[in-house]
Structure 1
Amino acid sequence: MVEAVIKAGATVVNIPDTTGYCLPSEYGAKIKYLVDHVDGIDKAIISTHCHNDLGMANAKTISGGLNGGRTISGVLNGARQVEVTINGIGERAGNTALEEVAMILRCHHSIDIDTNINTQKIYPTSRMVSSLMNMPVQPNKAIVGRNAFAHSSGIHQDGVLKNVQTYEIIDPKDVGIDDNAIVLTARSGRAALKHRLHVLGVEMNQEKLDKVYEDFLKLADKKKDISDDDIMVLAGADRNVNHHIKLEYLQVTSGVGVRSVASLGLNISGEHFEAAATGNGPVDAAIKAVKQIIKRQMTLKEFTIQAISKGSDDVGKVHMQVEYDGQMYYGFGANTDIIAASVEAYIDCINKFKK
């Protein structure tokens, strides 16, 4: 059949494993058989198309490419095209992942295949596709997952800080990631915490570091992983430190079938103010309480909540946009209490226009 379609003028012959059943060695052998036995095979490009139902799509694609692509000696003898998708997105369990195949070929120099892919575009492209398709990338996915360059083991962290090549075969920058991520846990040492603070732009003396590390260990006993926002809070580097309006306290009562009640206190240029309000939900009530104190006519235009990770005890991020006097202002808040984060974001907006 392959010989017939080539004689009929086909320039690309696609060899699919539609159900994902074939073993990598079997798939590679099929490609090799075509290369060795089909007359006129040099007149067409053999293309691989693999599904990931049994988690073997990438391995089969590489096997097909090696058996029908280039040998170690660099002699072109077969399959020269592979069909891949960003993030491995595809029907059922997906298809071969572009980013994984590209980096396999890049890392294994002995294979001697150049894809001509600008690998620094891999990570931003992955994020863009994930956002547009509303399909989150699994955290532990190779190359583009959140944890792909993250290290939580204490000994691994120490090794990475001393020599990154100890535990990383790929430089994160090669795929468009600014830096590797040291995931701080209760097993992390002072050196790892100091390094992460430095990456976040926070410098402190040893005395302050020791105090922050004590607080860090207390928090780490309650949480599995410590996020950057947690670290910034522990370091006292929150965004409102130089702002003249600060949230002092917040108390919210909410339930099903009843209106929420919020009471809060604000420090405005050293002076204390209090207010209470009801609303259609705790965030609405808290913002109305802030408005009672600020007494400005502002319109909330955008309100976005983002969980930093899957843990229920993790920091939530809130991005907010308000309109005041014909101008748009943007604010940000981060807190383990999402209501408090919302109020902080709202206050952050106000601090940018209140003089």
Structure 2
Amino acid sequence: MRHVRIFDTTLRDGEQSPGVALSLQQKLEIAHALARLNVDIIEAGFPVNGAAEFECVSRIAREVQGPVICGLARTHKLDIERAAAALEKAEKKRIHVFTSASKVHLEYMLKKTPEQVLELTDQMVRYAREFTDDVEFSAQDVMRAEFDFVRKLYQTAIAAGATTINIPDTTGYGTPPEYGAVIKRIYDEVVQGREVHISAHCHDDLGMATANSLAAVENGATQIECTINGIGERAGNTSLEEVVMALYVRRDHYKAKTQIHTRELYRISRMVERYSGMVVQANKAIVGDNAFAHESGIHQDGVIKNKETYEIMNAELVGREAAVLVLGKHSGKAAVKKAFADLGYTLDEAQFAAVFARFREIVERKGPIQTEELRALVESETAPTANLFTLEHVQFFSGSGLLPTATVKVATPGGMVTATATGDGPVDAVYKALAEAVKMRPELDLYRVESVTGSTEALGEVTVKLKLGEVQATGAGVSPDIIEASARAYLDAANKLAAGQAARQPRSLEEVQRSGLGK
């Protein structure tokens, strides 16, 4: 059975989603999670696109073991040199060189003739091979390009030393039969039996990214480029969890397999959702809240009798459920530690002590907690955030005919600070008081509240995004009290802003091209 390589680009293409800006620590956490997931390649970033991007790729290259670490580069010497420098310490490294194929890209973005693009492709792929034997080549917008030029472009890249050729449907224009046919022609007319991998890179503008990627596998592709939760520019990229589980469940049809540890899928989906601030829709395949839910009486009856009546895979396979103990105020450290291990979390002693203390505080207030609440608790308490500001106390008054008023007590580097403020509602009042306490006035760009399990006694999980000038940070908070969860989420983001763990929205490839950076 063929091995299809999974090339994850969450940290590069995925971060280009509108409004998403991941900090260095968040990217490192995601990269380590991708290594646990056992992806083949991690595209860590675009090293020439600023010092922060270079440092991110460099840190991932040094610290993450297992997958090939890849850096993106245009057909410019400086791009390739910066990628090579950032990847220097990687256990396994790849340089991904890209240009464009369509007439509209050549005329308006590259401002080059087809002959010039062919010449640069030859020169820069050869130059990349001076730094590594693993070189990937892509030409943007293949599906709107003339195939004769596409053929020449990829033939040139292979002759120059490219070991993987990537076929991007950059605008999500193609249909599965069309995209599959292009892959088949490249397989027959360009690769022609050579040891060169064909990669699929699809966007979801028409909702066909996953279908197109699977059509590519049917026609000879041996690599799929994708992102966790399908995040990415515009409507997003191919969803990693969808193609992985499609290949697993329908291996009888595709005759192909991946090396993904599928039980890690749900965990990393939640991590990316939390760090990016992009909500996973309830009916999202594989990782959505409703993916394994049944409300119809006929469906429920069938599933109770035999899950195979209405389920083609079980929730445990993707890490959605685990057999954990019922945990409450009488549960000891050993039981709690075992529960976290059953859910796939490995905590050091300091992390466990902090999570256990918060666990005891919560169960004393609300009683036993469920599996999903345990996930939310451990994820919120172990996120890599500096603790410059700690919530000690929050109190608010609100109601019909009353002016919402909040008082907070916050431990700061300068000592304990108490602040009081009024607002349009309790959350607004709390946030104004917190802003006064931490001496920052960030703009609230996102506020989202969810019930972890859906009951009135459930933990509330709040996600916020704060912007301060050009930087932004996402914070999360969990508590049985929504106002307290809101305060914790605000301080989580404020800590990142104050500690330099915030991030800027990365420039898109088009913006970099227009800037002329690296020429």
Query: Given the two structures, how large is their TM-score scaled by the length of structure 2?
Result: 0.38
Q: Which residue of 1 aligns with 2:200?
A: 48
Structure 2 unaligned blocks of 5 or more: 1-151, 329-364, 369-396, 407-419, 428-446, 463-476, 487-519
Choose from 95, 98, 108 the match for 2:250. 108
Q: Is the 8 A contact 1:3 1:41 kept in 2?
A: no
Deviation at 1:166, TM superposition (A): 0.8
- Measure how far apart 1:201 and its partner are: 9.0
Equivalent residue number for residue 58 of structure 1:
210
Equivalents in 1 of 2:265, 2:302: separation in Å? 26
Q: CA distance change for structure 1 residues 179 and 166 in 2, over 3 Å: closer, same or farther?
A: farther
Counterpart CA distance in 1 for 2:163 and 2:208 is 27
Distance in 2 between the 1:134 and 1:339 partners?
19
Equivalent of residue 172 in structure 2, options 11, 16, 20? 20
For the Cα contact (< 8 Å) 1:307–1:314, is it kept in 2? no
Q: 1:93 aligns with which of 235, 257, 263?
A: 235
Match of residue 239 from structure 1: 366
Please show how residues 136-175 of structure 1 align to structure 2 within 5 Å: 136-175=279-318
Which one-letter code corresponds to 2:198 in the other structure? I
| Alpha carbons 2:228, 2:272 under 8 Å: kept | yes
Shift of 1:34: 1.5
Alpha-carbon distance in structure 2 between the residues aligned to 1:331 and 1:9: 51
CA contact (8 A) 2:175 2:208 kept: yes
Identity %: 47
Structure number with the higher helix fraction is 2
Give the structure 2 partner of residue 266 of structure 1.
none
Higher relative contact order (CA 8 A, sep 6+): 2
Counterpart contact for 1:306–1:317, Cα < 8 Å: no
**CA distance 1:138–1:314, shift in 2 (3 Å):** farther
Q: Matches of 2:291 and 2:367 in 1, distance apart?
A: 32
Match of 2:160 among 4, 8, 31: 8
C-alpha deviations, 1:203-250, integer Å up to 9, x for none? Answer: xxxxxxxxxxxxxxxxxxxxxxxxxxxxxxxxxxx9369xxxxxxxxx
What is the Cα deviation at residue 43 of structure 1? 3.0
Query: 1:159 Cα shift?
Result: 1.3
> Would the aligned equivalents of 2:251 and 2:257 in 1 still touch at CA under 8 Å?
no
Would the aligned equivalents of 1:306 and 1:316 in 2 still touch at CA under 8 Å? no
Q: Does 1:84 align with 2:230?
A: no
Conserved? CA contact 1:253–1:260, under 8 Å: no
What secondary structure, in the 3-state scheme, does the structure 2 residue paired with 1:151 have? Answer: coil
Structure 2 CA distance for partners of 1:36 and 1:259, relative to 1, 3 Å: closer
Q: Return the TM-score normalized by structure 1.
A: 0.54
Native 8 Å contact 1:6 1:40 kept in 2: no
Residues of 2 paired with 1:130 and 1:305: CA distance?
12
Q: Is the 8 A contact 1:160 1:166 kept in 2?
A: yes
Amino acid at match of 1:80: T
- 8 A contact 1:6–1:41 mirrored in 2: no
Distance 1:44 1:147 in 2: 40
**Structure 1 residues 7, 168: CA separation in 2 closer, same or farther (over 3 Å shift)?**
same
Question: Which runs of 5 or more residues in structure 1 are unaligned?
Answer: 69-78, 181-198, 203-237, 242-250, 262-277, 285-303, 321-329, 343-355
Instruction: Give, in whole Å, the separation in 2 of the partners of 1:59 and 1:36.
Output: 21
Deviation of 1:9 (Å): 1.2
Structure 1 residue 341, shift from structure 2 partner: 11
In the alignment, the residues of structure 2 paired with residue 255 and residue 109 of structure 1 have an alpha-carbon distance, to the nearest angstrom, of 63
What is the alpha-carbon root mean square deviation over aligned residues? 4.2
Q: How many residues get paired?
A: 226
CA deviations over 1:238-297 (Å, ceiling 9, x no partner): 9369xxxxxxxxx963447x3569xxxxxxxxxxxxxxxx9957869xxxxxxxxxxxxx
Aligned to 1:38: 190
